[in-house]
Amino acid sequence: MNKSLISDCIRLLIITLVAGLALGFVYNVTKEPIAAQNEKAKQESYKTVFSDAASFEPVDFSDSQIQDLCKKNGITGITMTEIMAAKDDSGADIGYVFNVTSSEGYGGDIQLAVGIQSDGTLNGYDTLSISETAGLGMNATKDEFKNQYKGIKAEQLEVVKDGSGASDDSKIDAISGATITSRAVTGAVNTCLAYATAEGGK
């Protein structure tokens, strides 16, 4: 092995080490601000779907509990990250906020914040993360679709493509050309409704 090749290998090793150290430094510097920004965005979404809440407190739940509810209601691909009890100024429970993800989206995971009042009224949802097709599935972030989930009471919602959602609170008119996205969002919301209904019946 000639000296030139050895020298090139050493240079490459040094460059790799320096780049690795620089990336590690940048990660350590930025991870806390990014985490803080993500937490702020999450809390803003919680307030969006439950503006009457003065505070939120974590609720204990298990994944098996959520999966049992999903199985009972024919829902698949759901992960529940967090359930928060919505509290009024006196500290009384007035409902729930859910951090829920469906893996059934056309473009991948769809993560939502969902608010449900103690009497089962659905406050609606806010999008935490979504990567659906622009002009189609991304319309799930628009009020025209989201407003269908506001101010209604139903144990479970059904996605329809015949326009009947306008006259039936239990039906959601699918986004044109994005039925998969519509069903993923509705499946996530239905999981939250199932939990709220089960807890309300205790």
For 54-100, what is each residue's pLDDT tens digit? 999 999 999 999 999 999 999 999 999 999 999 999 999 999 999 99
Q: Helix, strand, coil shares of the chain as percentages rounded to 5?
A: 45, 25, 25
CB 130 within 8 A of CB 146: no
Backbone φ, ψ for residue 85 (5° rounding): -80, 125
CB burial of residue 201 (10 Å; 0-12, 13-18, 19+): exposed
Note whether residue 41 is domain-resident: no
For 145-162, what is the mean pLDDT? 95
Distances in whole angstroms, Cα of residue 61 to Cα of each of 39, 57, 84, 201: 20, 13, 10, 16
For 37, half-sphere exposure in the C-beta direction (CA atoms, 13 angstrom radius) is 5
Say yes or no to pLDDT of 159 above 90. yes
Backbone φ, ψ for residue 135 (5° rounding): 80, -10
Tell me which of 100-109, 130-139, 148-157, 161-170 is least confident: 161-170
Note whether residue 1 is domain-resident: no
pLDDT in tens, 91-130: 999 999 999 999 999 999 999 999 999 999 999 999 999 9
Residue showing tokens 């599935």: 137
Note whether residue 12 is domain-resident: no
Query: Range of 163's domain?
Result: 50-200
Q: Please report the pLDDT score of residue 40 as a whole number.
A: 82
Note whether residue 3 is domain-resident: no
Give the chain's domain count: 1
Note whether residue 6 is domain-resident: no
135 DSSP assignment: T
Most confident of 12-21, 23-32, 162-171, 179-188: 179-188
Note whether residue 22 is domain-resident: no
Tell me which of 32-41, 105-114, 178-187 is least confident: 32-41
Name the pLDDT band for 10 (thresholds 50, 70, 90). confident
